[in-house]
Amino acid sequence: MELRTKRLILRLVSYRDCSALLEILNDPKVSHYNDYGTDLSLQDIKAMIQGDLELFYQGVGVRFALLNEGALIGSIGLFDYQESTSEISIGYELAPEQWGKGYMREAASYLVESLPSILPKALIGQINANVDKENKRSIKLLKHLGFEQKHKHYRLCICQTDPKRRVL
């Protein structure tokens, strides 16, 4: 699966992305805010990709590699689908040298808009995001997308009757 925005290609993550993801996820500026921990190994990345691919083929999750001019600059994914509550979580990471250029805003906006075609089997009414309170860039992105803060978490409620998928 491959999606295109104005400046990005979002393609299903694959094992060929291991080295680039390893570098991004182990960057101290990135690992400071994610929940993967530090000092990830190549084997850790391969296991993560394997899990993401399994979720995609089950129709309940996905991770896209973000490509700009052929280079992998980050990833974005949907995971932890809860069928009983129609919820899924979003997560993303971007190489620090790409911060502030609007790439993640472009990718995340497109992902949310394309949700029914990306995961047609999953009935999703809410997207959740867990963000460190110090991660101001991520909080700004989520608010731009329409996420609302609820306690320590952010959520985007998707109106099933509105094709524009407005926030409730």
Would you say residue 17 lies in a domain?
A: yes
Asked whether residue 163 is assigned to any structural domain, the reply reads no
Distance of CA 78 to the CA centre of its chain: 6
Say what the pLDDT of residue 33 is.
82
In a domain, 162, yes or no: no
In a domain, 166, yes or no: no
**CATH number of the domain encompassing residue 32:** 3.40.630.30
The letter for the amino acid at 57 is Y
**What spatial distance separates the first Cα and last Cα of the chain, rounded to whole Å?**
30
The verdict on residue 168 lying in a domain is no
Q: Residues 87-96: pLDDT tens digits?
A: 999 999 999 9
| Residue 126: domain span | 2-157
Read off the pLDDT of residues 95-146 as tens digits, 9 standing for 90 and up: 999 999 999 999 999 999 998 889 988 889 999 999 888 889 999 999 999 9
Number of domains in the chain: 1
